[in-house]
Amino acid sequence: MAKNVGWSAIQENSGERADYVKLEAGKKTRLHILDENPIQFSVHPIAGGAQGRPERCKGKDCPFCAKPLDYGKKTRYAVSVFAFDTNQPKVLEGGTQIFAGISAAVEAYEGQTKAFDIIINRTGAGLETRYTVVPVPTQYKPEMLKVEKFNVAKIYGVSTATDDDTTDHPSAIDEVPF
């Protein structure tokens, strides 16, 4: 099961369908965060999921966690955002490199996510991919959101209350049940 976490929890080191942010190399992407906190979950670094994406961990009964397979896991995060390039709500999903940058921006703005937008710049490719997150004063106005934002908690199967109970799985991260 996924977990709703606070921004300070991110460190450097469903039935609803969503439109995801696609970060392209060399292109700066301006986004406005619409959620209070990100959702945290785990994926197995195997290309077994939909569209060749890593497989989401299924929790304590996950076949990819079972010995002798044990594919290992990576922490991922997701948050609902407003994408200025399309003027539409989307879901930003990524690892600690992106979300640690967002976390630093949230801290710089004293937790006031409504006060700033973020510009994410992707450079490099493959193992050399790097993401730079820069907070800028917001250009977002609530009336710009013509349709409802994505319910990231519903997409990732998590309650909206922050949940610190991670005893169900030895990874200390709640996974999305599928």
* pLDDT surpassing 80 at residue 172: no
* Per-residue model confidence (pLDDT) at position 15: 47
- pLDDT tens, residue by residue, 2-33: 666 666 555 443 445 678 999 999 999 999 99
Residues 6+ apart with CB under 8 A from 142: none
- pLDDT tens, residue by residue, 21-73: 999 999 999 999 999 899 998 888 775 555 556 778 888 888 777 776 666 78
| More confident site: 78 or 68 | 78
* Per-residue model confidence (pLDDT) at position 136: 96
Do the domain assignments include residue 161? no
| Dihedral class, residue 164 (left if φ above 0, else alpha if ψ from -120 to 50, else beta) | alpha
- pLDDT tens, residue by residue, 79-99: 999 999 999 999 999 999 999
At 107, the pLDDT band (50, 70, 90 cuts) reads very high
The CA distance from 30 to 32, in Å, is 7
DSSP classification of residue 29: E
The CA distance from 135 to 119, in Å, is 6
Do the domain assignments include residue 164? no
Do the domain assignments include residue 178? no
* Per-residue model confidence (pLDDT) at position 37: 92
Cis peptide leading into 68, omega within 30 of 0? yes
- For the chain, what is the domain count? 1
Half-sphere exposure of 172 (CA within 13 A, CB side): 1
- pLDDT tens, residue by residue, 118-159: 999 999 988 899 999 999 999 998 888 887 888 888 888 776
pTM of the shown model? 0.75
What is the residue range of 90's domain? 3-155
* Per-residue model confidence (pLDDT) at position 47: 58
Do the domain assignments include residue 177? no
